[in-house]
Structure 1
Amino acid sequence: MANNDVNGNEINELNSVGLDKLLGVQMVQATGDGVTATLTITPDHHQPFGITHGGVYCAVAESAASISGYCWLQEQGLGGVAVGANNSTDFLRSISTGTLHISTTPIHRGRRQQLWQVDMVDDDGRLIAQSRVRLQNLEGPGR
């Protein structure tokens, strides 16, 4: 990893705060080229009809994209943070149990904005949900 990459301790810290902690998102790897994460789906993630609530996918996508964008800003030496400006998530399959595997891919990384694709697949590699998350780069010291 480059000097500005997110290290293992920072990944553990990302897993221990806020909505990601409440949902149970586990960051596996985080770099400016993308993140990988997992989420074990439980009944706590369900909507009233026994399948995963769409808001779970939206929240996971925004977190994964924001962390990807943050890592890229740090690796470029730009500092600051990246926050969600738009989140478009398509729900392709419904699941009620299993592990969701999350990965991000950069589409555009610019001075002011970034665009990331977030794929969420099940244990069999089937695409469950896919998001496009546009981020606004904000100046500042970062975390």
Structure 2
Amino acid sequence: MNEKLAETLRQAAESGGMDKLLGFVVDEASGDGIRGHLTITPDHHQPFGIVHGGTYCAIAESAASISAFCWVQESGIGGTAVGVNNSTDFLRSVSDGDITVTTTPVHRGRRQQLWQVDMVDDQGRLIAQSRVRMQNIAR
């Protein structure tokens, strides 16, 4: 990743927003995917003591958005990308621990991108999986 892109991502992370609220940290990012993590706290729970599904949806949207943004920058298309569809399957419930988030490109085109987002627990078990479709937007 080039320095300008790294600085843009760093500034976005420091500015606050949903990722900061959820505690989502991006460890590695490129147009080929990201790797990130978050530690589950009671703030992520729904009323029955397990992670709220919206947490996974929000993390998937952020992870795919960062991946898509990196790709449009690295590919020379430029601009940014915004989410237009997010489908998340909740496969295993958890109430604590660390979650690792990775993205994999399914399709990267001139107008749209499709990303798979895998979220695994600290034992490597898949707990949620998303497909997020992104629209490339010229700036």
Which bracket does the TM-score occupy, shorter chain normalised? over 0.9
Give secondary structure in 2 for the equivalent of 1:6. helix
Tell me how far apart the structure 1 counterparts of residues 104 and 33 of structure 2 sit (CA, whole Å): 6
Tell me how far apart the structure 2 counterparts of residues 15 and 122 of structure 1 sit (CA, whole Å): 23
Match of 1:102 in 2: 101
User: How many pairs align?
Assistant: 138
Match of 1:31 in 2: 30
Q: 1:12 aligns with which of 5, 10, 30?
A: 10
Tell me how far apart the structure 2 counterparts of residues 27 and 76 of structure 1 sit (CA, whole Å): 21
Q: Deviations over 1:80-116 (max 9, x none)?
A: 1111000000000000100010000000000100000
Match of 2:61 in 1: 62
Q: Deviations over 1:29-50 (max 9, x none)?
A: 1100000100100000000000
1:4 CA displacement: 7.2
| Structure 1 residues 6 and 30: CA distance shift in structure 2, 3 A | farther
TM-score, normalised to structure 1, is: 0.92
1:10 CA displacement: 3.8
Contact 1:4 1:75 in 2 (8 A): no
Q: Deviating runs (4+, > 6 A) in structure 1?
A: none
Tell me how far apart the structure 2 counterparts of residues 47 and 77 of structure 1 sit (CA, whole Å): 42
Contact 1:102 1:121 in 2 (8 A): yes
| Structure 1 residues 123 and 5: CA distance shift in structure 2, 3 A | farther
Q: Percent same amino acid among aligned pairs?
A: 66
Structure 2 spans left out of the alignment, 5+ residues = none
List aligned pairs for 1:114-125, cutoff 5 A. Answer: 114-125=113-124
Structure 1 spans left out of the alignment, 5+ residues = none
Match of 1:90 in 2: 89
1:94 maps to a residue whose letter is S
Match of 1:73 in 2: 72
Tell me how far apart the structure 1 counterparts of residues 126 and 92 of structure 2 sit (CA, whole Å): 7
TM-score, normalised to structure 2, is: 0.94
